[in-house]
Structures are given as structure tokens and as C-alpha cells.
Amino acid sequence: MTRTHGEWKIGRRALHYGERTLVMGVLNVTPDSFSDGGQFLTLDGALAHAEQMIIDGAHIIDIGGESTRPGSNFVSADEELCRVIPVIERLANLPLPISIDTTKAEVARVALQAGAEIVNDISGLRFDPALAEAAAAANAGIVLMHSRGTPKDMQQIPFADDVMADVVEGLQTSLSLAEQSGISRERIAIDPGIGFGKTVQQNLELIARLDTLAGQFTDLPILIGTSRKSFLGKLLDGAPADARLYGTLATEVAAVLNGAHIVRVHDVRAAVEALTVADALHGASQ
């Protein structure tokens, strides 16, 4: 399919999407994230990892202080802030933008004041609608992700009968909330939420039919996050999180060829190389 092009306005700048895939590097400063929990809890460790991702070619650094793995519990805003703000403050002067991965308005507000330019909300404003007001006040970019339930129960609640229809309806609701709070569409990206309340087959369907989603939201960049997720482990004979790189790359390339503009990844260098080739293939097909 022909991938749309445009500018995603975020904070103090705009990111051009469509000509190349933007790579968002994951920096979890949590003790319990499913893939890298506890690895970057110290400030020095977090900063060193961020610097390595920049060297490897990341375009955005996404910092999270609360795990959203299946079965996880929420942490307090104070705890989340203690984890993320020192890192954001130290990285705020870098030449690439910082994203705060949070569902809480209070955390978003302080993170944006500290230098973040994007809010990545896995709830699509379901958990804390005031988060939209915080993003609007800072002229921040925002990622609205589709999810079902909460991280605690998302794999126990009934799954959608029609996953594509459920995702489109959920994202349309999130977009309405964002726009009602003063966020312009040029500052919004969307994410179908791979792994968040979906079956293995539904995750595959969303990637394979991503062009359908792109056709519904032609003026918005689409972010995909498949990196190391459990559905890949199920497809790869129970491979643990740190052994899912090749499966991850396959889904990322497929997503880009089907219309994705941004990928959220743990393994930046591998993703950058694979997606450089995918972008070239995409361009050659036009």
C-alpha cells in the first residue's frame, strides 16, 4: 500500500513520517517490566542505555516508570515520578525528543515540564481523561493506544469478536476525547495496541490488516509495538522475551509494509537496519 506522509507536531518540533520509519527506543526504569525490568533502574544505567540507543539510530526515546505487562499492578504517581523525572531531566537537552510512557495526568504534566515532548498513553485516555488536558497545555504530541481492561486483567476479560472493529471504535473514542480537550489532530499518533487484550490470532490479524486501519485514519501516523511480546513467544515454541528478536523484526517489517510509520522497540540497532531495508522496499514498490 502507499504509506501516507506528513508531520507529527510534538512539543518544540515536528517529526516527518512516511519517507522513513521512525524508531522509538524503549527505556523502562522499572523493576518488573516483562522484558527488561530492573536492568536500567540506576540513573547511570538508564542514561548509558539511552545514549547507546541514540548511537544505534533511535529517533525517539520512550521512558516508562510503570510496567504494563499482563498481570501488573499500578504504582503511585509519586513512585512513577521518582523513577522517570531524573532521567528525563538529564536527557532533555538531547537532539531527539523524549516520550513519557504514562497513563497519569500528574506524571504527564511534570514530565512535560521536565522536557518530554510526547505522552504515550496505553489506555487511550480511558484511565485518566485529564491527561489530555496536560498534553494540550504543553502542546505535546500524544500517542493514543487501544487496549481492553487494565494491565492487571486484560488477558482475563472476554476478547472482542471483531478485533479490527473494536480497535477502530476505541481509537475513534480516544480521538474525540483528545480533540475535545484541545489537542489538534496534527499532534496525535495512534497505536492498535498489539498484545493488550488480544489473542495471538488477533495480534496477527491487526498486523496483517494494518492497511485497513491506515485507511480509517489517513491523516494520523500509526505506531506499532510488537517488540519481544508474549504472542511471539507462543508462536516460537515458548521462546523467552530475550529470544524473540527475529520474530519481532518480522512483525515490524510486515507492519511497515502495511502502513506503519513508527515502531517502538527494545533492540534499536537491529530494528533500524531491518526497517532501512523495509523502507527501501516500500519505496521501490511505489
The catalytic site residues sit at 229, 264
Contact by Cβ (8 Å): 163, 202: yes
Contact by Cβ (8 Å): 259, 214: yes
DSSP-H helix ranges across 209-267: 210-216, 230-235, 245-257
Longest dimension (CA), the chain: 49
Closest CA to 200 of 241, 163, 162, 231: 231
Residue 110 grid coordinates: 511534570
Instruction: Look up residue 128 and give its DSSP letter.
Output: -
Give the separation between CA 146 and CA 169, rounded to whole angstroms: 9
First to last CA, the chain: 8
The amino acid at residue 170 is G
Angle at 195 between CA 250 and CA 42, to 5 degrees: 90
3-class DSSP assignment, residue 102: coil
Dihedral angle sign, alpha carbons of residues 57, 62, 64, 69: negative
Closest CA to 94 of 53, 44, 126: 53
Q: What is the 3-state secondary structure (H, E, C) of 161-206?
A: CCHHHHHHHHHHHHHHHHHHCCCCHHHEEEECCCCCCCCHHHHHHH
